[in-house]
Amino acid sequence: MSYNLNENLKRSASNFPESIAYIYGDKSVTYQELNQKVDRLAAGLYVQGIRKGDGVALILGNSPEFLIAYYGILRLGAFAVPINPMFTQGEISYILDNSKAKAVIAHSSVESKLSELTDKLKKITSVIYAGASHQEWTWERLMETSSLDFVSPFTDQDDLAVILYTSGTTGKPKGAMLSHRNLASNAESISKLMELHDEDRVVAVLPMFHVFCMTVSLNAPIACGATVIIVPRFSPFDVVNTIREKKGTMFVGVPTMYNFIYQLAEATAEDFSSIRLCISGGASIPIELLQNFQNKFNVSTLEGYGLSETSPLVAINPLKGTCKPGSIGIDIPGVQSKVVDEFGKELPRGEVGELVVQGPNVMKGYLGMPEATAAAFNDGWFYTGDLATMDEEGYIYIVDRKKDIIIVGGYNVYPREVEEVLYQHPSVVEAAVIGVPDGEYGESVKAFVVVKDEQITMNDIIQFCQDKLVKYKLPKRVEFFKELPKNSTGKILRRELRQLTEVK
């Protein structure tokens, strides 16, 4: 079977021409109309000199323009380089330079950042702005002047489709090269597992420049003729309203989003009455939050797991069958994973080791980084950097990031284990745990929490944990925040908490 994202859209436009492809505010567009817009965008880029194999950067928020540009780039046989519009000028400059992008499609809000870069990055032949702009080439002009006579070139399933830049926790961000096969096979697996169909309405509020949204909320629904409900940015109130008013059937989010929606006092199960399924990923969802959310809204919430390098989905709890709270579920079809020791030898079930993955979803490699690529692979397996265990039925439990382990007096402490206990405290809204230097034990546990009750003290938190954790796992210090630092998808950033601790 050949996997191709461009062909997926064409097929849906042929099979469901009058079905709604996306809804944005009070505007809806059919699959036939979307397909024509994508043709126009591809033709416009062709006139701008973009050809098969060229890179086009997308610096856009959640919008119809992102969706049209993404598929227009693919239709041209080019590859997309999605970039967070909130990135600094330096971060954008690095990615444009590293990816060798020939064109940029950006929202006018980043015009000031880009105006200084285009002189430095001579390889960029054109910058097209969406939204109000005084520049020569705007989205509107490109779409108006392009011709529908454009014939898209043949695209092979192993052709490069997207380069996604990892967060770069160590050194510069790495560009994960994802092919049509990587992304389309993952979209197909999600469609089958979640039983997606043309009557579904998928809420796309995760950032579209992130692989989680790109595959689960865009590529998978489009492959089966479903409707994408585009939400420009996350607000718990807006999301609940959108679900209720637009009759969303599937919500996809990260644990922070679930937490904020759960904390929204006015939100009720009635608001979620049209939702048949919720999916959580991006980070481990605390069991307490998972159960509270499901009970409040009376919805099935499946936790899954993936990475940018795996397009992203590796495993998920099954829609039909046993769901195990705290587990990321079982391997998706076509994907294999196992837990190995430091020598790459598979460990017995129940033992903690590194999770390694193999399948059609695994990236081609890191752009221009042969050493980093070689370090990430061993004997055909991709090493995730995540510590996990697997039970007898093949359900995987993420213990923590390999680099986040805290070693207290020779004992391993996994931050997630302590965080799970902190979330059980009735006043704790958010929690994160790191290791800090300790003269006596090497490291000790430090907790960062956001609480509802300002009267709660550090001793209250530590005493709450005492009955639930062995002494060496207990937080020695607790720091109170109004909000914990997060990345663009809402994932709590332990590395920033470490930096804050170092500064102090």
Task: Give the burial class of 478: count Cβ atoms within 10 A of its Cβ; 0-12 exposed, 13-18 middle, 19 or more buried.
Answer: buried
**Residue 127: C-alpha distances to residues 45, 57, 70, 503 (Å):** 10, 9, 15, 40
Q: From 3, 38, 374, select the one nearest 156 (Cα to Cα).
A: 3
| pLDDT value at residue 503 | 65
The full set of domains in the chain, from first to last, is: 31-179 (3.40.50.980), 405-503 (3.30.300.30)
**The pLDDT of residue 426:** 95
- Report pLDDT for 41: 95
How high is the pLDDT of residue 491?
A: 87
The pLDDT of residue 24: 98
Strands 277-280 and 250-253: parallel
Q: Which parts of the chain sit beneath pLDDT 70? A: 118, 148, 167-171, 503-504
Predicted local confidence at residue 257, as pLDDT: 93
Strand partners, 432: 448
pLDDT of residue 168: 55
pLDDT of residue 504: 63
What's the pLDDT at 411? 81
- The pair of three-digit structure tokens given for residue 249, joined into one six-digit string: 């059937």
Q: What pLDDT shows up at residue 171?
A: 64
**Predicted pLDDT at 409:** 84
Q: What is the pLDDT of residues 442-466, one digit of tens each?
A: 899 999 999 999 999 999 999 999 9
